Amino acid sequence: MTTVFKFGGASIKDADAIRQLTPLIEAHEDRPLVVVISAMGKTTNKLEALLAAARDESRTDEYRQCLDSLKTEHSEAMEALFGDSGESPAERVSALFQELDAQHRKHRSSPYAKHYDQTVCYGELISTTIVAAWLNRCSIATDWHDARKLVRTDSRYQAANIDWPTTAESIRQQLEDSDSVLLTQGFIGGTEEGEATTLGREGSDFSAAIFAHCLDAKEVVIWKDVTGLFNADPRRFDNAVQLERISYAEATELAWHGAKVIHPKTLGPLQEKSIPLMVRSFEAPDTAPSVIDAEQRFDADVPSCILRQDQVWLEVRPRNFSFMDEPRLHDILGRLVEAGMHANLVDSSAMRFALCLDDKPERLDPLVESLQGDYDVSRENNLTLLTVRHPQAGMMDELSKGREALAERRNATTAQRLFHSRDCPETWHIPD
């Protein structure tokens, strides 16, 4: 049965990191093995910056500098791995950079989301070209596959929907029963017309789940720079502890509320086929991983805390002292859907509807402009949303001490409070 490995940006951030990946793949002798890989390090962020410069005629110099810096980073990794040996993929990578440059010229006047997908996909196309060449050089037979041809999607750029029957057919046809490592890109897919699409930021975990689902895999392993899924981001909470075992549903809740470690769409395709997900460390592969499967017994054992930064609070009021009734709620939520935005917290009263949103200017600014056409809109920036799953009595108050909450929400399993980021500490502590 197939195993699917997923390596994110941190695990292939440079030549040393790529070298460390070799023994992890070598140690797994069973085939088929599908390996899904993200872009190196923070390449996707840099490609977004490149895109912004490409769309602004006055920023041609910045565009060139960004492109050169990306080329240099990738060349340095290739030089360190291959020297000037004939096995270096330098020529193929250089051709991919030329294609990327040409795509920017071609799509400068296309809608932003389409331009985004035609260019940002090169992060994964380039990283997988380098890693495939490296594994082959290490005598691990590896075939490179183009996910734009395997993962069929609609043309909802930046948040493409999977055409499951077509995807399953092409993945099964091309990937089943191979003795080689089957290496492909996370995060990207392609339309029937051959345009590249992306599945949403940090979507490579979801890609791994798509491949696993289509191949009825035995398990998925997501290799991270942490030993597993914790009850809070260990970088932000000084007493975070690893969750040994939680359910698909609980992991989805944590991811949905913003736990960055897994993409929220990942668990659905795995749950449907009862495929377990392991989150394990590429730095300490012998440490016990977190296991995510159908077992729900341990879900409420420890409270989990999630921080969402860069939040905005919008308060929308009808004009002329009228109610925030169902037709108006329908109208506002419709505009939210149109803007492709998700509300992380909502609150309503007779004459007001309020939403907590991610501060993504390219989506938020048009939404605010549209709402201002028909409503009175006020806005607070630079906020942090704290979500606690399974909070113990008094825990939220303890966590909020000394901070004014702009909004709050609570149900049987989840409590949320919204704070000014300036009032929040860099390092938090989960109360006992």
Ligand X SMILES: N[C@@H](CC(=O)OP(=O)(O)O)C(=O)O
Ligand Y SMILES: Nc1ncnc2c1ncn2[C@@H]1O[C@H](COP(=O)(O)OP(=O)(O)O)[C@@H](O)[C@H]1O
Q: Which residues bind ligand X (CB under 6 A)?
A: 8-9, 38-39, 44, 123, 186-187, 201-204
Rounded to a whole number of angstroms, the distance between the first and last alpha carbons of the chain is 43
Segment contacting ligand Y (CB under 6 A): 5-13, 85-93, 264-272, 420-428? 5-13
Rounded to whole angstroms, the Cα distance separating 119 from 100 reads: 6
Q: 245-304: which residues touch ligand Y (CB under 6 A)? A: 259-261
The H-or-E segment that residue 405 falls in is strand 405-410
Residues touching ligand Y: how many (CB under 6 A)? 17
Q: Choose between 261 and 383: whose C-beta lies nearer to ligand Y.
A: 261
The reply on whether position 88 binds ligand Y by CB under 6 A is: no
278 binds, among ligand Y, ligand X, none (CB under 5 to 8 A by kind): none
233 binds ligand Y (CB under 6 A): yes
Q: Which does 225 bind (CB under 5 to 8 A by kind): ligand X, ligand Y, none?
A: ligand Y
Residue length of the chain:
432
Smaller CB separation from ligand Y, 94 or 309 = 309
Residue 201 contact among ligand Y, ligand X, none, beta carbon within 5 to 8 Å by kind: ligand X
Burial annotation 7-44 (CB, 10 A radius, 16+ → b, else e): bbbbbbbebebbeebbebbeeeeebbbbbbbbbbbebb
188, 198 contact by CB (below 8 A): yes
Examine residue 224 and tell whether it contacts ligand Y (CB under 6 A): yes
Find which of ligand Y, ligand X, none residue 123 binds, CB within 5 to 8 Å per kind.
Answer: ligand X
Residue closer to ligand X, measured from CB, 340 or 431: 340
**Where is 219: in which H helix or E strand?**
strand 219-224
For residue 18, the surrounding DSSP H or E stretch is helix 15-26
Residue 11 binding ligand Y, by CB under 6 A: yes
**Does 386 interact with ligand Y (rule: CB under 6 A)?**
no
Q: Could you say whether residue 121 binds ligand Y (CB under 6 A)?
A: no
Based on the shown chain and the rule CB under 6 A, indicate whether residue 82 belongs to the binding site for ligand Y: no
Residue 103 CB neighbours (<10 A): 21
Dihedral of CA atoms 207, 208, 212, 214 in degrees, nearest 10, equals: 20
List of residues contacting ligand Y (CB under 6 A):
8-11, 202, 224-226, 229-230, 232-235, 259-261
